[in-house]
Amino acid sequence: MTLVIGDSTPRSSDIPQSNYYPPPENVEEINTLLLEHESRFESLNCEIEHLKTRLKESLQQQDELSNLISSQRAHLAPIRRLPPEILAIIFLHCLPTEHNPIRSVDEAPLLLARVCKTWHQVCLATPRLWSALHIHIPLMFIEGFCDKIAGRKEGVHRWFSRSGDTPLSLSL
């Protein structure tokens, strides 16, 4: 017994959507189309790679220009026109008010001294920035306690030597 479901010969337009193997007269036509499509596919791949390279180059140029623009804008910033005496007053207002400053690059005055050479010089020339300090004493049972204390001793000495003749405030 043979099971027949409709016409067993597919039409040419139905071949791509069917599970039938194309008839011999369509194989050459399909192979030709396949070669054309593969060639176009490769051409598009090459074009995409070229565009990716060009995009990468353009993004790099954009990044360089952005950095240049930022640098030029920074040179024109109004704060650069302030005399050192005014900067020093501003820096004093940056000190913490609820506690003595700590030796941390995340807080004034060390933070301010790291911004640029000019600010560093202003900080070092402003003794009142260095007249107060909070010293955290680590627990004695922490490994390397003596080394930490020796390092802090040097840091505290440098800190207070910058304070000149101003009255000192120390908290522990």
Confidence band, pLDDT 50/70/90 cuts, at residue 4: very low
Any idea where the domains of the chain sit in the sequence? 22-75, 82-140+147-171
Q: How does pLDDT run across 73-121, given as a tens digit for each residue?
A: 999 999 999 999 999 999 999 999 999 999 999 999 999 999 999 999 9
94/146 Cα distance (integer angstroms): 32
Confidence band, pLDDT 50/70/90 cuts, at residue 19: confident
What confidence score (pLDDT) does residue 76 get? Answer: 94
The pLDDT of residue 23 is above 80:
yes
pTM: 0.60
Residue 60: Cβ within 10 Å count: 10
Q: Which residues contact 104 (CB under 8 A, 6 or more apart)?
A: 110, 111
Residue 42 C-alpha from the chain's centroid: 36
Residue predicted with more confidence, 156 or 141: 156
Residue 133: Cβ within 10 Å count: 19
Percent of the chain exceeding pLDDT 70 equals 88
Confidence band, pLDDT 50/70/90 cuts, at residue 1: very low
Percent of the chain exceeding pLDDT 90 equals 67
Residue 155 C-alpha from the chain's centroid: 31
CA nearest to 90, candidates 62, 123, 41: 123
**Residue spans of beta strands (DSSP E) within the chain:** 132-134, 169-171
Range of lowest pLDDT (36-50, 52-66, 74-88, 135-149): 135-149
27/18 Cα distance (integer angstroms): 15
Residue 21: Cβ within 10 Å count: 10
CA nearest to 24, candidates 36, 9, 37, 4: 9
Bridge partners, residue 133, by sequence = 170
| pLDDT mean over 135-144 | 73
The pLDDT of residue 10 is above 60:
no
